[in-house]
Structure 1
Amino acid sequence: MKKQHNLLCIAPMMEWTDRHCRMLHRTLSARALLYTEMLTTGAILHGDRARLLAYDPAEHPVALQLGGSEPADLAAAARIGEAEGYDEINLNVGCPSDRVQSGRFGACLMREPELVAECMAAIGGAVKVPATVKCRIGVDDQDPEESLFALVDLCAKAGVTTFVVHARKAWLQGLSPKENRDIPPLDYPLVYRLKRERPDLTIVINGGVGSLDEAEAHLAQVDGVMLGRAAYHTPDLLGDVDARIFGEARRMTAVAAVEAYKPYIARELAAGTHLAAMTRHMLGLFHGVPGARAWRRILTVEGVKAGAGLEVIDRALAAISGLQEQRLARGLEAGEAA
C-alpha cells in the first residue's frame, strides 16, 4: 500500500521553497508533502536557527532537507529539526552546484554511498520521524544501474525505507546546475525497475514531471511523485492535487487560493515582512488565463514599493476579473450579432 503523504510532494528548491512559498502551496493543496529549501548543518548548528527553521503550523506535513556529510553534525541538526516539529528529515544527495560540492554534500555524495549510509544511520538513530534520502541516479561516468542500487541498498541496510530519486545523472564537471536540470537524459524506467526489484521500499520519482497527468502515469509504477519547477511556475495545478491524487472532493481555484493566502500575508505584513517576499511566489498562479500579464505586472511593479499591502493584490485580482468580464461581454455581443 502506498503511503498517502508520499503520493505527491513539492521539491525542495533553493531560493524558492521558503516558508512563504510553502504557505501558498498549502492553500492550494492540503495534502501534498512540502519540503524546505536545503539547509546546511553548519547553518542550523551555528546560524540564525529561529529564522532558518521558521514555518507556519499550517504547513504540515512539511519535511526539513539537510545538506551535509558529517554524521554527528547531521544527527545534531536532525534532532533540532525534529524538536522544531518537522515531519521528516531528508538528506540531499542530489544538488550539483559547485558551492554544494565544495562543502562535500549534495550529488557528489553519490560517489560515497558508504558515507551516505553512515550519515543516514546517524540521522535515523537521532530522530523518531522518517529519515529519507533524495538522490540522483548517478554522477558523471558512473553506471546508474550500479550507483543507484548501491546507494539505495546500503542506505536500506542503515534503516532508510523512503527514497526520492531524481531520474537524471548529475554532471559535476562541465555543466551548470541549470543545465543539470535539463541536459542529462531522464531514465524513468530505471526508477521503475528500482521499485519492482525493491518492492518493500517507498520510491518517489522526481525530475521533469510537468503535469498531474504525468504524475498519475508515474503513480502506476512507483509510490509517489515529486513536482519541482512545474509546481513553482504554474502553482495553480496544485489546486487539483487533493482531488486527483488523494481522491478527495477538495478543489482550489487560483482566485480562492489568493483569498485563502491573504490572511497569512496580512499577518506577515504586520510582522514587518515585505509584500514582494510573498507575492514573488504568486506570479505564475494565473498562467494562461486572460489578464495574467496584468497580474504579474501589478505584483512585480507595485509589490516592491515601500508600504505595499493587500491593496496591490486586490488590484491585480481586479485586473484578472476585469479582462475576463470584457472577454465575456465581447463574446455575448458577437453572439447577438450572429
Structure 2
Amino acid sequence: MRRFGRTLVTVSLAVAVVGGTAGWASGDSQHAVTGPPPGTAAWRADTASGRPLPDPASASPHDAARFFAGLDDAERRELAGRHPLVVGNLDGAPVTLRYEANRLAVLATGEARYASLASPGRQILAFDPRGRGQVVEVFGDLERAAHVSVIVPGSDSDATTYDAKRAPNTGPAGMARSLHAAAGENTAVVAWTGYTTPVGVGLDAASGRLAKAGADRLARFTAGLDAIGAPDPVLFCHSYGSVVGGLAARHTDATDIVVFGSPGMRADNAAGLHTGARVWAARGPSDWIAEVPNVQLAGIGHGADPTSAAFGARKVPAADVQGHTGYLAPGSQSLAAFAAIARGEVR
C-alpha cells in the first residue's frame, strides 16, 4: 500500500509538471485526424482507362506504386488534377506527382495561411487541411538520395503553424533544414507533420492516445518510402514525437531511431521497442523535459527515460544543447552526431 501511495504521488507530480502552472486547462483535447484523405469518395467512383483506382483506405503503398507504374504520364497528371488531395496524400504514388498534386490542393483551399506551401520550389509530399492540418515537406532529392531521414515533431506542430516564424533551427521545417544542411546533399530529410499533435500541455501530452494514431500513420508513411524504392530511413523524434516513434518502432523498417528531448517511448527499455533499428537518445543539460517524472500509470506518462543507462539506448552527446529545442543548432554536438547518423557513418 505504501508503494502504491508513492506511485500516486509520482503521478501527481507528473500531472503538475506536464500541466504547468495553469494545470490541465492549458492543453486542449484534440481529435486525431485519421483515415483516407478528403475526396476519397469521388476517387473511388472514378477509373483510369477503365480500371478501378486503389482505395486509399485499404490499398497498401506497394499496391499504389504498382498502380501508378501501369499508367503513362498523361494519365497520372490527369488523376492528380481531378483528385489532388487523394493523390497528394497517397503513400506509394510517384514523388514528383505528389508534389504537383499538393501544390494544386493548397491553391484550391484559397486560404492565405497555407499559401506559402504552394511557393515555387517547395516539395510538399502530403497536405491535409482537415482539423489543424497536416503537412509533409521534403528537403533534398528524395528520389535519388542515398540516405533518408524523417523528423517526427512533438506538440503544437500542424499545417496552420508550419510556416510561422520560429527560433532558427526549430519546428519541423527548421529542424529538417538544419539536418539537411549538416548531413549533405546526398541525404534527403523529410519534415513529417503527418499526425495530430497535442496542443500545449495537458492530458493529450501526457497520454498516448494521439501518439498511437500518429504511430499508425508514421508506419504507413515509412512503408510508402519503401514502396517508391527510397532507402530505409532514420527517424529523428523530438519530444512527444518520440512517443510516436516508440509506438511505431516495431512497425517500421527504420535503420535508426533517434529521440531527443524525450518524455519516454512507452517502453521499459530499448529491447521493449521490438525493433531491429539502433536506438539513440539525447537530452541537453537545460532541457525542462528532465523535470517530467518517467512514469506510466492508467494511461498517463510515457515510461522510462530513454537517456538512462538502464534503458539501453546509445547516447548522443548533447552537453552544449540549450533548452528543449536547441538540438539542431549549427555547431552543436548533437547536430554533428545526428548528421553522422543520417549519413550512415555510425555503426
- Answer 1 or 2: which has greater helix percent: 1
Fold shared per TM-score above 0.5: no
TM-score (norm: length of structure 2): 0.29
